[in-house]
């Protein structure tokens, strides 16, 4: 028996149709408890980035811990409100907000719009005027800071589409201050995702300090600084490192960032909150001997978990129903795409048809990114509390 086998209720799994997402709610509770404690200790306001996982059961648990929500669409705002999150804890980011989404957010009375361009600012002002309300706005600034992560998930360098370029910030601030429907309340940043180098966050803080100094020379100060999300998780050690090091992350930004008196600090973690509690569970359909390698062909594919195909992401893969000697397999799905591969030369306990395979650390950007390509059904989800 490998140590992980005891982590999964295999007997209960045999009653369920694969593939499905399995969420270990104890891991989620531990993560949320640590996150909440460390946030309180460091006086950080947390808005969970709902795009990482919007499963209603997960959301209701996150809501119980009192976190706010970071949304990037009208649908996400609706999901957050439905989960019982107070509107004044919701932030709304995104480079392309539609009019209906802006109207929805204005009507709900959210905490803040994270505004990514001058034309967006103008539209929000117009829509707010039409409703005779004011819109609380933080400007999302592209800090031109390097993040050591896959280039598809780096967002804070000047060639990225996100945020307002440093050179344009003064003009956008001037415009915001001139619009009576806009209340400029904050500055927002987000440099990317799956960041494990605390230096990257320290670099962001230095840049924020420079920007704040520039504003201070104009006698300007905003109410809050929002550093976005991005804290990474250890995909190689889902059990040993189940709870991310929020203490180190918060203490780094607290130490590096020079907040002004009365200014509040906000963050938007997504992945680090939910990645480790989720596993994609599938069954082996066939073991196929190729000319050079052996394939384990699963009943789950990129339609359930697209991260390996989209970002060449690594996930730990385990055969949870075998204790036979290890062999190497290319672990692939059934989808008609060559990129539908979870891992090459993966060491697994000897695989046979019908074995259960767990793809670990799949709680973030797994279920939310699933698709119906090849007309496959939307994956179901099950929770440790219900399966004993
Ligand atoms: C995606 C995103 C997040 C969350 O990122 P994680 O890496 O999952 O923590 C936070 N803020 C914004 C603006 C985002 O786009």
pLDDT digits (tens, 9 = 90+) for 45-66: 999 999 999 999 999 999 999 9
**Residue 365 Cα to ligand 1 middle (Å):** 11
Q: CA 41 to CA 38: how far, in whole Å?
A: 5
Q: Whose CA is nearest to atom 10 of ligand 1?
A: 229
- Of 31, 70, 367, the residue with max ligand 1 atoms within 8 A of its CB, to mutate for a pocket test, comes to 70
Q: Which of 243, 216, 223 is nearest to 231 (CA)?
A: 243
- Of 270, 307, 313, 365, the residue with max ligand 1 atoms within 8 A of its CB, to mutate for a pocket test, comes to 270
203 close to ligand 1 (CB < 6 Angstrom): no
Q: CA 8 to CA 139: how far, in whole Å?
A: 44
Listed as own residue / partner, the contacts of 105-110 with beta carbons closer than 8 Å and 24 or more positions apart are: 105/74, 105/77, 106/131, 106/133, 106/135, 107/131, 108/77, 108/81, 110/77, 110/136
266 close to ligand 1 (CB < 6 Angstrom): no
**Predicted confidence (pLDDT) per residue in 107-152, tens digit:** 999 999 999 999 999 999 999 999 999 999 999 999 988 787 777 6
- Of 51, 192, 367, the residue with max ligand 1 atoms within 8 A of its CB, to mutate for a pocket test, comes to 51
269 close to ligand 1 (CB < 6 Angstrom): yes
Give percent of the chain above pLDDT 90.
91
> Model-level pTM greater than 0.75?
yes
**Residue 251 Cα to ligand 1 middle (Å):** 19
CA distances from residue 178 to 94, 122, 173, 216, 249 in whole angstroms, order as listed: 23, 11, 9, 18, 37
The stretch 335-364 carries a mean pLDDT of 96
Mean pLDDT of the chain: 95
The stretch 177-194 carries a mean pLDDT of 97
200 close to ligand 1 (CB < 6 Angstrom): no
The stretch 7-36 carries a mean pLDDT of 97
Q: Count the Cβ atoms, other than its own, within 10 Å of residue 324.
A: 12
SS3 readout for the chain: CCHHHHHCCHHHHCCCCCCEEEECHHHHHHHHHHHHHHHHHCCEEEEEEHHHCCCHHHHHHHHHCCCEEEECCHHHHHHHHHCCCCHHHEEECCCCCCHHHHHHHHHHCCCEEEECCHHHHHHHHHHHHHCCCCEEEEEEEECCCCCCCCHHHECCCCCCCCCEEHHHHHHHHHHHHHCCCEEEEEEECCCECCECCHHHHHHHHHHHHHHHHHHHHCCCCCCEEECCCCECCCCCCCCCCCCCCHHHHHHHHHHHCCCCCCCEEEECCCHHHHHHHEEEEEEEEEEEECCCCEEEEECCCCCCCCHHHHHCCCCCEEECCCCCCEEEEEEECCCCCCCCEEEEEEEEECCCCCCEEEECCCCCCCHHHCCCHHHCCCCEEEEHHHCC
156 close to ligand 1 (CB < 6 Angstrom): no
pLDDT at 5 over 90: no
pLDDT at 194 over 70: yes
Q: 3 pLDDT band (50/70/90 cuts)?
A: very low
The stretch 20-31 carries a mean pLDDT of 98
- Which domains does the chain possess? 5-21+276-387 (2.40.37.10), 25-273 (3.20.20.10)
The residue count for the chain: 388
Closest atom of ligand 1 to 114 CA is 13
* Exposed/middle/buried for residue 168 (C-beta within 10 Å: 0-12, 13-18, 19+): middle
pLDDT at 155 over 80: no
**Predicted confidence (pLDDT) per residue in 260-317, tens digit:** 999 999 999 999 999 999 999 999 999 999 998 999 999 999 999 999 999 999 999 9
The stretch 166-185 carries a mean pLDDT of 96
């Amino acid at each position: 028996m490998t140590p992980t086998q005891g982590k999964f209720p295999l007997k209960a799994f045999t009653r369920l149709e694969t593939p499905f997402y399995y969420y270990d709610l104890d891991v989620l509770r531990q993560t949320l408890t640590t996150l909440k404690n460390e946030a309180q200790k460091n006086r950080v306001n947390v808005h969970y980035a709902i795009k990482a996982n919007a499963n209603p059961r997960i959301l209701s648990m996150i809501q119980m811990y009192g976190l706010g929500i970071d949304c990037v669409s009208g649908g996400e705002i609706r999901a957050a409100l439905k989960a019982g999150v107070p509107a004044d804890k919701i932030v709304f980011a995104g480079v392309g907000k539609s009019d209906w989404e802006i109207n929805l957010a204005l009507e709900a009375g959210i905490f803040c719009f994270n505004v990514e361009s001058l034309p967006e600012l103008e539209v929000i002002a117009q829509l707010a005027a039409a409703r005779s309300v004011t819109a609380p706005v933080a400007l999302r600034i592209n800090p031109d800071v390097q993040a050591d992560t896959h280039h598809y998930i780096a967002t804070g360098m000047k060639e990225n589409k996100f945020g307002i370029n440093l050179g344009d910030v003064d003009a956008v601030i001037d415009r915001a201050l001139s619009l009576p429907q806009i209340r400029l309340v904050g500055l927002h940043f987000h440099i990317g995702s799956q960041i494990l180098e605390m230096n990257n966050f320290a670099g962001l803080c230095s840049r924020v300090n420079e920007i704040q100094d520039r504003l201070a020379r104009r006698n300007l100060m905003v109410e809050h600084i929002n550093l976005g999300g991005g804290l990474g998780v250890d995909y190689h050690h889902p059990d040993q490192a189940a709870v991310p090091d929020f203490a180190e992350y918060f203490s780094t930004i607290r130490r590096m960032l020079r907040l002004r008196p009365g200014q509040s600090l906000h963050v938007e973690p997504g992945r680090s909150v939910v990645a480790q509690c989720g596993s994609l569970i599938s069954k082996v359909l066939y073991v196929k001997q190729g000319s050079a390698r052996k394939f384990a062909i699963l009943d789950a594919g990129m339609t359930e978990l697209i991260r390996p195909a989209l970002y060449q992401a690594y996930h730990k893969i385990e055969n949870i129903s075998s204790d036979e000697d290890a062999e190497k397999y290319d672990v692939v799905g059934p989808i008609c795409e060559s990129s539908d591969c979870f891992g090459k030369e993966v060491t697994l306990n000897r695989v046979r048809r019908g074995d259960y395979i767990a793809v670990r650390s799949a709680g973030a950007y797994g279920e939310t990114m699933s698709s119906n390509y090849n007309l496959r059904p939307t994956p179901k989800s099950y929770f440790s509390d219900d399966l004993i």
